[in-house]
Amino acid sequence: MAFLNPTITAAAVEASEFPDLARRYRVTGVPKTIVNEEIEILGALPADAFIEQALAQVNTIQHEGAKSPA
């Protein structure tokens, strides 16, 4: 996605070289994509499947936020 939109940034981290970071983000397999500390997608997916999973998680987060008292 960072290739398609200049407002998106991405970083790749070698989990075996940064074990503390891997533990912090509960990396159990690679690749693992984390978006804004909320969305987590594990595995290499085709772009359409990746977007589908990301949007499903966004919808879940928004739905849960709507149920929370302000």
Query: What are the pLDDT digits (tens) for 21-51?
Result: 999 999 988 899 988 888 899 999 999 999 9
**pLDDT band for position 18 (cuts 50, 70, 90):** very high
- Taking residue 27's Cβ as centre, other Cβ atoms within 10 Å add up to 19
Q: What is the reported pTM?
A: 0.70
Q: How far apart are CA 19 and CA 6, in angstroms?
A: 30
User: Please, which residues have CB within 8 angstroms of residue 15's CB and are 6 or more apart in sequence?
Assistant: 21, 22, 27, 30
Could you tell me how far CA 59 lies from the centroid of its own chain?
14
Strand 32-35 relative to strand 39-42, pairing: antiparallel
